[in-house]
Amino acid sequence: MAKKKLMIHELYQMKAEGRKVTWLTAYDFPTAQFAEAAGLDMLLVGDSLGMCVYGYTGTVPVTMDQCIVHSEAVRRGAPNTFVIGDMPFMSYQRSDEDAVVNAGRFLKEASVDAVKLEGGRRVASRIQAIVDAGIVVCGHLGLTPQSSGQLGGHKAQGRTAVSAEAVIQDALAVHEAGAHLLLLEAVPPEVAGFIAGKLPIPVYGIGAGPQCDGQILIVSDLIGQFQAFTPKFVKKYADVATVITEAMKAYVKGVHEGKFPADEHCYHMLEGEESLFKKLIDKYR
Ligand code: KIV
């Protein structure tokens, strides 16, 4: 039987019942297929694709068109999983109108179930405008990579009482603006736990401790594919970089040693055709 896609009210029910949501990023069709087969509750086509797929040093260069193409592929690979499209830098910062138009593109062109955008009080009107357009919205607070310049780098947030209060005020504003879900990134578990308990909406975490209503990881970290750096909150469940590199080395060796391709990898001529072929090519000798 095909897996049943979760709806937003079921995510709320899971929070009420204390059942943790499992969420992962995905950027392509095969990974989305694996995730759906593995029973993930949700997928995020994160703007982390800038680093994980395109090799940029951050998320800022990522465009709407890139996000749409990858979201389409993920939707095709995981038709029965709740998919969230991540709004890239400058797709919503300028105006509420931009925010609605670009959030709408995710739904119209890639059939995602929701969109995510970074920021608290300063994007409250963007969140409200997207919600008013009938779109499910996930907020994103704490370490917000699109504004990491202002944060002084990719640093955990809310580690002092004053900065923790700022995260809490942003969380309240995101909820008040109508967001249906909230993601906290790199926030102390004490702070994330308080917010998850205070807000009625599901609060998920990455590097925000176990008290959140669910967890997300970047798939390229989880499978051991991303090489540039590994944040403290990552747990590597596999080492595909080694698996892939070893497979490629074995291929190179096989070709150099004349062991690949072997007879079983060849398309031989149809019966009786080889003798005809030999006669035919005589004229080229
Ligand atoms: O783009 C992304 O992958 C994210 C992570 C924090 C999950 O937003």
Tens-digit pLDDT profile for residues 32-72:
999 999 999 999 999 999 999 999 999 999 999 999 999 99
Residue 139 CA to ligand 1 center (angstroms) comes to 11
Nearest CA to ligand 1 atom 3: 46
Q: Is residue 185 annotated as a catalytic residue, yes or no? A: yes
Is the model's pLDDT at 1 over the cut of 80?
Answer: no
* DSSP H or E stretch at residue 42: strand 42-45
> Which residue, among 75, 69, 85, has the nearest Cα to 35 in the 3D structure?
75
- When pLDDT is averaged across residues 241-253 and rounded to a whole number, the result is 98
The ligand 1 atom at the shortest distance from the C-alpha of residue 86 is 1
Where does the pLDDT of residue 125 fall: very low under 50, low under 70, confident under 90, or very high at 90 and above?
very high
Contacts of 196 (CB under 8 A, 6+ apart): 203, 205, 211, 212, 213
Going by pLDDT thresholds of 50, 70 and 90, the confidence category of residue 3 is confident
In the chain, what percentage of residues exceed pLDDT 70? 100
Using 50, 70 and 90 to split pLDDT, how confident is the model at 219? very high
pTM: 0.95
User: Helix 161-176 to helix 124-132 angle, to the nearest 10 degrees?
Assistant: 20
Mean pLDDT taken over the chain: 97
Active-site pick, 185, 246, 257, 273: 185
- Measured from CB, residues less than 6 Å from any atom of ligand 1 are 25, 44, 46-48, 86, 185, 206, 216, 218
Indicate if the pLDDT at residue 218 is higher than 90: yes
